[in-house]
Chains A and B, each alone.
Chain A
Amino acid sequence: MCESGFVASSNSAPGTLERTDEELDLTPRHSLETPWRTIVWNDPVNLMSYVVYVFRSYFGFSREKATQLMLQVHHEGRAIVATGTREAMEAHVHAMHGYGLSATVDRAEK
C-alpha cells in the first residue's frame, strides 16, 4: 500500500497508528456451512488510510480491527476479511472491487 508519507497534514500517517494488544483471530472457520472466504491483497496504489476507511465503512469493523487487517495486508500481502457462503463472499469481493481494492474469493482450507 501507499503510505502517502509526504502528507504533512495527515492525522493518519502510519507511524501514528496504534497497535492493540489483543490478537485478532483470523483463523478461517472450517465448518461445512462456511467454507468460503474473502481475501484482500496488498497493492501499491491504495492509501493505508483509505483501506482502513473501506474496512470500517463497508464491514463495520472497529478502528482497531480495521487497522490490524490493513497492516496485515500491508506487511503480509493479504488478509482474510470475511468467511461465509460463496455467494456472500462474492458479494464482498464485488464491493471491494468497487472500492478499487484487490480482493479474491477462495475455499477455506480443510
Chain B
Amino acid sequence: MTRVRRSDGELTVTISDNEFITLSRLEADLLGALADRLTAVADGVAGVDRMFPDAYRDDAEAAAEFHSLTDVDLVTAKSEAARSVMTAFVGAEAQASGSLWRRSASRTITADADLSLALMRNLTDLRLMIADRLGIESDDDDGSGGDTGDRIVYWWLGETQERLVTALAADAFGAGDR
C-alpha cells in the first residue's frame, strides 16, 4: 500500500511496482479522456462530465460560454498534473526490498509543494474518472458499473488521497491543527 511521509516540509510518497503499473495505465486513460474532451470542445459537442462541471445551473447559455472559456485551460492543468506525477514516478529509481525469494520493488518520490498539489488534484481527477465507470451517483452509492479492478483502484486512490490530504494539511496548517 502507498506510504505517505512528511519531513522538513517535504512529502515522500512510496508506491509498489504493481501500483506504479496501475497508475501508469490510469494516467494514460485520463490523458486520453482529456484529449477527447478537447476534441469535443472543438467540435462543439462537449457533454456532461464530472471533471468539467457546469458553472451555471439555470442558464444553459452562460454555462456553455463558461465551458468555452475555461475547458481548454482545465484540460491543460489536469494534463500537466498527470504528466508531472508520471514523470516523477518514472524518474524514481525502483528499489528492491524483501528477501531473495520474496522480493518486491517500490518507487519513492519526494514531492515539493507544487508536485504535492499536482498529485492531490490528479488523484481527484482519477477518482472522478473511475467513479464514472462505477456509476457512482450519490453519497453511499457504490455504483453498479465497472469491474472488481475498478473498485479496488477506486478504494486505493481514496486511501492514498486521504493520507496525502492529512499530511498536506498538517504541513500547511500545523501538525496539531487537524
Which residues of A pack against B, CB within 8 Å?
1-2, 4, 6-7, 9-12, 41-47, 49-50, 52-53, 56-57, 63, 74, 90, 93-94, 97-100, 102-106
Which residues of B pack against A, CB within 8 Å?
50-58, 66, 70, 73-74, 77, 120-121, 124-125, 127-128, 131, 136-141, 155, 158-159, 161-163, 165-166, 168-169, 172-173, 177-178
Contacts of B77 in A (CB 8 A): 98
12 residue pairs A–B, Cβ–Cβ below 8 Å: A6-B155, A12-B166, A44-B136, A45-B50, A49-B169, A50-B120, A56-B173, A74-B139, A98-B74, A98-B77, A98-B121, A100-B125
Cα distance, A23 to B34, chains bound together (Å): 41
Cα distance, A41 to B56, chains bound together (Å): 12
Q: A11-B166, A42-B139 are in contact. Are A50 and B124 (CB under 8 A)?
A: yes
CB–CB B159/A7 < 8 A? yes
CB–CB A63/B173 < 8 A? yes
Q: Pick from B53, B56, B138, B159: contact of A44, CB below 8 A.
A: B138
Cα distance, A93 to B161, chains bound together (Å): 22
Q: Pick from A6, A57, A100, A103: contact of B124, CB below 8 A.
A: A100
Cα distance, A57 to B159, chains bound together (Å): 21
A-B contact number at CB 8 A: 107
Contacts of B172 in A (CB 8 A): 53, 56-57
Q: A79 CB to closest chain B CB, in angstroms?
A: 15
Besides A63-B173, A104-B53, 5 more A-B contacts (Cβ < 8 Å) are A2-B139, A4-B162, A9-B163, A49-B165, A105-B55
B164, closest chain A residue (CB): A50
Contacts of B169 in A (CB 8 A): 12, 49, 52-53, 56
Q: B160 CB to closest chain A CB, in angstroms?
A: 10
Contacts of A97 in B (CB 8 A): 52-53, 55, 70, 74
Q: A97 CB to closest chain B CB, in angstroms?
A: 6
Cα distance, A31 to B52, chains bound together (Å): 31
Q: Pick from A11, A43, A63: contact of B50, CB below 8 A.
A: A43
Q: Pick from B53, B138, B162: contact of A47, CB below 8 A.
A: B162
Cα distance, A44 to B163, chains bound together (Å): 19
CB–CB A50/B55 < 8 A? no
Q: B33 CB to closest chain A CB, in angstroms?
A: 14
Q: A19 CB to closest chain B CB, in angstroms?
A: 15
Cα distance, A10 to B4, chains bound together (Å): 12
State the 8 A-B residue pairs at the shortest beta-carbon distance, nearest first.
A100-B124, A102-B53, A45-B131, A7-B162, A49-B165, A93-B55, A11-B178, A4-B162
CB–CB B141/A49 < 8 A? no
Cα distance, A1 to B51, chains bound together (Å): 15
